[in-house]
Structure 1
Amino acid sequence: MTLQELVFIAPELWVLFMTCVILVVDLYIKEERRGIIHGLAMITLLFAAIITLRADYDGTGLAFEGSFLRDQMGDMLKLFSYFVLAIVFIYAKFCLRQFRMFRSDFYTLTLEALLGIMLLISANNLVMIYLGLELLALSSYTLVAYDRDSSRGSEAAMKYFVLGSMASGMLLYGMSMIYGATGSLDLAEVATAVSGLGKDDPMLVFGLVFLVVGLAFKLGLVPFHMWVPDVYHGAPVVITLFISSVPKMAAFAMAFRLLQTGLGELHGDWSQMLAVL
């Protein structure tokens, strides 16, 4: 790992570092002083935005042998994610206190989810996409069950976990088929291989179908939206606010990287499927 690569992933490293700091600080403060945790979380978002804005690169930057892509589109999506999450944090401070659920768990889990979102936004490799997706998903499942005394929340979390795991499995299976057809995990190399194989390769077509279905589950598109009402109704209001907003930007970035960058040659196929959805 070079110094330049560390610069490219500086926002992600900062969020990871501050998540660990919040975990440690929470061990040594009294319950009545937990407002400090909220302040640390807001500082995390503020400095993450500053680090992202002060990007020291020209055009695009690649790290980890091309699996991580830093570009202007990704930076804009990250900045918007920070902004929306800051609004969630401001609302959460009052909402969680009102319902006596003000704990550091909320901030650490949402920051871990943010880290997954940031990885998804900058992913340029099928494995990196899946890692970011699972980091986001596991944090989201736990957040839905944040109210430990609510049977409705536990039921919603279980449904979300089962359907989310199924969607992740479909995405992973689709990625494995694309890897089998193209022989590469890098999205740019996948695009080159797809242009050479043509649009009628059966493995590519089946892989594309599984990818689109998995993305439809993650985005809550009809007819793969059956999890949305239960999860939004069963989770605490502030959790619903988070799940219905910030992860959608990560899903958009994932769809763009996978379909437009990696499978742009199959535009005629996946655009029709998305039009139906």
Structure 2
Amino acid sequence: MTTPIPQEAVNLVPVYAEIVLLIGASAILLIDMFLSEGKRSITYVLSLLTLLVCGGLTYIDFSSGATVYTFHGMFVSDPMANLLKLFTYLTVGLTLIYSRQYAGDRGMLSGNLGGEFYVLALFAMLGQLVMISGANFLSIYLGVELMSLSLYAMIALRRDNHKATEAAMKYFILGALASGFLLYGISMLYGATGTLDIREVSAAVAAGTIKPTILVFGIVFLVAGLAFKLGVVPFHMWVPDVYEGAPTAVALLLGGAPKIATFAICVRILVEGLLPMAFDWQQMLLVLAVMSLAIGNITAIAQTNLKRMLAYSTIAQMGFVLLGLLAGVAGTTDRTGIDAAYSAAMYYTITYVLTTVGTFGMLMLLSRAGLEAETLNDFKGLSKRNGWFAVVMSILLFSLAGVPPMMGFAAKFSVLTAVLGTGQIWLSVFAVMFSLIGAFYYLRVVKTMWFDEPTDNEPIIARGDAKFVLSLNGIGIVVLGILPGPLLAACLAAVKATLAT
């Protein structure tokens, strides 16, 4: 047993954003009960205003650059957490804007509790914020469960759709299994160290007085639980089925902001808490990354349903994130290289999320009542129906494929640079090879949009706010690809400041 780290008094200032979000979501739920279906837009506006206020509060904390622990060390506000929270607000906000018309056309915003789509999205995000700032295994687990329970309900919102119900059941069962893995791993670490505080666990492990066998078993279960949340091989079986079965708006909520939160808890648990055991968990991440890159890219080639294709694409993209995480300590003791590796993984996660949000947004924009635009045939001849939408979708797909000068190229380059810095040339070559294989299924969609004849000549009808924001989304991917420096520097500074404490 080690001497406990002095615990900080309860300070509510770092938690203002979470408090506002909780109060806002609860108030929106009550207000929505008294709104008629024709006034459901009030719920939509209030949700976006809540995100805006939370973003302002978090930005103030981010600007200060301070690291503050509160709630007796269970919650931390540091530069990494605040930067990731800002992109979480952005991601959820974009999701709500893109999904407004889609959800309305499918009856997800109707009935006495039609605003539950927005409320559940806000509660899921609250869970993500707790995950990002969790400095204790208990608070991290509470965040995971709050997010997961909200998403379970959202997947099944279309009660009359058997595919959505089936997807919710699969995600619920496998999610419960993943929660069991996490809890068992946490219980083993608690049994070995006598604490749930991540900093105290790190100190106990570094002391070298604990039997490594117990720690390794705990790490195995923890990594398995984290791998499920990331959706990497061999814990990927839920991803394609849930993405396909869930309403596209909910699939975006699954594939967007939760990845940011899961990346955060990977850093909290593995890097901040279990860095002395890095040799063990790095080997696990290596296997997960290699399998995800191979299976994700190869399997995606065979898909004609774009939601399933994007699901397997997600698996491969998360493999790249794991490469950045394992490059942080594998084969290097250089502090600069370590910070660069973790910041590259962070930058890659943000890049993936911003691009995926736009891609799913385009799927929803092309959908209409009675039609799901989710197959390759639905994108045939898009350039002839609307040239600008075809341009935006091409930008997003090029970014996912890692084609310069898109943002995705800068992200892949930063991760590969970090891996090369560890001397693992074979791993870099392997990643590049499967990225080239993966480029095929992205470029196939681009070819379909520009060179095939359209099979659907119905006019594309979308709200002005969704079209405007989607255009900004595509332009932003290009701008951040040409000028990646500011965001990369922000990620590097946030990681340095966080790991220094």
Fold shared per TM-score above 0.5 = yes
How big is each residue's C-alpha offset from its partner over 1:142-174, in whole Å with a ceiling of 9 and x where there is no partner?
A: 111111111111111011000000000100000
Say which of 198, 203, 207 aligns to 2:214: 203
Please provide the CA RMSD for this pair.
1.5
Moved over 3 A (4+): none
The Cα shift of 1:3 comes to 9.6
Q: Secondary structure at 1:54's aligned position in 2?
A: helix
Indicate if the aligned counterparts of 1:125 and 1:185 stay in contact, CA closer than 8 A.
Answer: yes
Aligned partner of 1:123 in structure 2 is 134
Bigger relative contact order, structure 1 or 2 (CA pairs below 8 A, ≥6 apart): 1
Say which of 85, 102, 124 aligns to 2:92: 85
Aligned partner of 1:7 in structure 2 is 13
Q: Secondary structure at 1:139's aligned position in 2?
A: helix
The CA distance in 2 between the partners of 1:157 and 1:197, in whole Å, is 43
How big is each residue's C-alpha offset from its partner over 1:198-222, in whole Å with a ceiling of 9 and x where there is no partner?
A: 6862111100000011111111000
Say which of 189, 194, 197 aligns to 1:183: 194
The Cα shift of 1:101 comes to 1.9
Q: Secondary structure at 1:62's aligned position in 2?
A: strand
Aligned partner of 2:249 in structure 1 is 238
The CA distance in 1 between the partners of 2:33 and 2:155, in whole Å, is 23
Aligned partner of 1:262 in structure 2 is 273
Aligned partner of 2:316 in structure 1 is none
Say which of 54, 68, 71 aligns to 1:64: 71
Equivalent residues in 2 for 1:150-165, closer than 5 Å: 150-165=161-176
The Cα shift of 1:131 comes to 0.5
Aligned partner of 1:173 in structure 2 is 184
The change in CA–CA distance for 1:62 and 1:50 in structure 2 (over 3 A counts) is: same
Indicate if the aligned counterparts of 2:192 and 2:210 stay in contact, CA closer than 8 A.
Answer: no
How big is each residue's C-alpha offset from its partner over 1:7-28, in whole Å with a ceiling of 9 and x where there is no partner?
A: 1100000000000111110111
The CA distance in 2 between the partners of 1:245 and 1:198, in whole Å, is 40
The CA distance in 2 between the partners of 1:63 and 1:3, in whole Å, is 6
Indicate if the aligned counterparts of 2:9 and 2:71 stay in contact, CA closer than 8 A.
Answer: no
Say which of 8, 28, 33 aligns to 1:27: 33
Aligned partner of 1:43 in structure 2 is 49
The CA distance in 2 between the partners of 1:200 and 1:267, in whole Å, is 15
Indicate if the aligned counterparts of 1:177 and 1:207 stay in contact, CA closer than 8 A.
Answer: yes
Indicate if the aligned counterparts of 1:121 and 1:254 stay in contact, CA closer than 8 A.
Answer: yes
The Cα shift of 1:4 comes to 7.0
Q: Which amino acid aligns with 2:260?
A: M
Q: Secondary structure at 1:69's aligned position in 2?
A: strand
Say which of 66, 76, 81 aligns to 1:74: 81
The CA distance in 1 between the partners of 2:83 and 2:65, in whole Å, is 15
Q: Which amino acid aligns with 1:216?
A: A
The CA distance in 2 between the partners of 1:167 and 1:198, in whole Å, is 29
Q: Which amino acid aligns with 2:32?
A: D
TM-score (norm 1): 0.96
TM-score (norm 2): 0.54
The Cα shift of 1:247 comes to 0.5
Aligned partner of 1:253 in structure 2 is 264
- Segments of structure 2 that go 5 or more residues without pairing to the other structure are 1-7, 289-501
Q: Secondary structure at 2:66's aligned position in 1?
A: coil
The CA distance in 2 between the partners of 1:240 and 1:172, in whole Å, is 26
The CA distance in 2 between the partners of 1:106 and 1:4, in whole Å, is 33
Alignment identity in percent? 46
Indicate if the aligned counterparts of 1:199 and 1:265 stay in contact, CA closer than 8 A.
Answer: no
Indicate if the aligned counterparts of 1:199 and 1:266 stay in contact, CA closer than 8 A.
Answer: no
How big is each residue's C-alpha offset from its partner over 1:67-93, in whole Å with a ceiling of 9 and x where there is no partner?
A: 100001000000000001111010111
The Cα shift of 1:98 comes to 2.0
Q: Which amino acid aligns with 2:83?
A: M
The CA distance in 1 between the partners of 2:230 and 2:27, in whole Å, is 32
Q: Which amino acid aligns with 2:121?
A: T
Q: Which amino acid aligns with 1:97?
A: G
Aligned partner of 2:22 in structure 1 is 16
Q: Which amino acid aligns with 2:259?
A: K
